[in-house]
Amino acid sequence: MNIKITGSGSYIPTQVVPNTDFANHVFLNEDGTLFPHSNEIVAKKFAEITGIKERRYINDDLLTSDIATIAAQEAISNSKIDPETLDYIIVAHNFGDVKKGAIQGDMIPSLASKVKYNLRIKNPKCVAYDMLFGCPGWLESFIQAQAFIKAGMAKKCLVIGAEALSRVVDPHDRDSMIYSDGAGATIIEATEEKGGILAHESASFTYDEANYLFFGKSYNKTHNPDIRYIKMHGRKIYEFALIEVPKAMATCIENSGVEIGQVKKILIHQANEKMDEAILQRFYKLYKLSVPEGIMPMSIHRLGNSSVATIPTLYDLLIKGEIENQSLNKGDIVLFASVGAGMNINAMVYQI
């Protein structure tokens, strides 16, 4: 028995927000003082470092659970399963449903329960729960789904990563330009087909690193200090990721029995293009190799960082041939990797 993705779907928001849309923002330093450079310079340096030229935001009438449902419907259709046969629905996210203009996230009931309701699934033995694991949440949910299947507790699982980060960003923080919205969904099943999950690795670093990503007040001191926004210590995250992510990837490769040269694609969480490139350079340096050309498909340039939705969305777009000059084919060995709030990291070797 092998455990594989048998269907995928995604929701790419229709509202395109280019970097030029931030031209009129008032960017401030953490102490509330005016940032010294013009927004034109900020946007230029931002694009050079992150690779992000535009991002996507959901429409005002949509919620995270709505776009999770849309992606799920597409994955169910793609896999040709009866949704009533699902044993688990796992939804990875970080902030719940945040209505446009609201100051609270709604997690009651769980987003997974909302998705199950939206899908009109009657089966009470289809268990729905949420995963809060930072940006690596979809990948960790995938790892849990395969554990349920291996243990004989499930045959089919729906695993979703969905986020609407546009609802929790501080408009006075330059880091707000990184974040975006989106949803990706996958059906995970036991199958006799060759391939599937070959190895996985997860870790949580909390002793010094727990608060590298956190909820904090606006940089604008006139704003209500009790309203919180997503914040990060970018330099610390960068340094942490460059050390820990390549090690997790290498451990995963070693445990899989796969040779490094067999890896066709690396699907990595995308928050910063230069950081991802540096992670790959560190990873291949462990094997005294150069990074193979084209091994890391990128969606960050036009989709931004949609947190838990980044990797499943990227996977879906690749499977459907919607990323230029990139593809995934039957039998390909793929290395997944992610890092995010917690600080959590994970990796997985998977054969298409």
Query: Which class does domain 2-193 fall in?
Result: alpha beta
Q: What are the extents of the domains in the chain?
A: 2-193, 198-351
pLDDT band of 275, cuts 50, 70, 90: very high
pLDDT band of 214, cuts 50, 70, 90: very high
> Is residue 177's pLDDT more than 90?
yes
Same fold, 2-193 and 198-351: yes
Mean pLDDT of 329-349: 96
Instruction: State percent of the chain over pLDDT 90.
Output: 86
pLDDT at 35: 84
* Chain segment 282-328, per-residue pLDDT in tens: 999 999 999 999 999 999 999 999 999 999 999 999 999 999 899 99
For residues 347 and 249, give the distance between their C-alpha atoms in angstroms, rounded to a whole number: 6
> Is residue 249's pLDDT more than 90?
yes
pLDDT at 339: 97
pLDDT band of 346, cuts 50, 70, 90: very high
User: What tokens were used for 196?
Assistant: 């599937």
CA quadruple 92, 270, 198, 134: dihedral sign: negative
350 - beta bridge partners?
197, 334
pTM: 0.95
pLDDT at 42: 84
Taking a C-beta distance cutoff of 8 angstroms, is the pair 28, 154 a contact?
no
pLDDT at 104: 84
Give the 3-state secondary structure of residue 151. coil
pLDDT band of 110, cuts 50, 70, 90: very high
pLDDT at 322: 92
pLDDT at 103: 81
For residues 289 and 261, give the distance between their C-alpha atoms in angstroms, rounded to a whole number: 10
How would you classify the pairing of strands 263-268 and 156-164?
unpaired
Tell which phi-psi region holds residue 342, choosing left (phi > 0), alpha (psi between -120 and 50) or beta.
left
The DSSP-derived string for 99-149 is -TT-SS-B-SS-HHHHHHHHTT---TTSEEEEE--STTHHHHHHHHHHHHH
> Is residue 231's pLDDT more than 90?
yes
Of residues 94 and 32, the one with the higher pLDDT is 94
Average predicted confidence (pLDDT) for the chain: 95
User: What tokens were used for 238?
Assistant: 């960068």
Mean pLDDT of 141-150: 97
Mean pLDDT of 39-49: 86
CATH of domain 198-351: 3.40.47.10
> Is residue 65's pLDDT more than 90?
yes
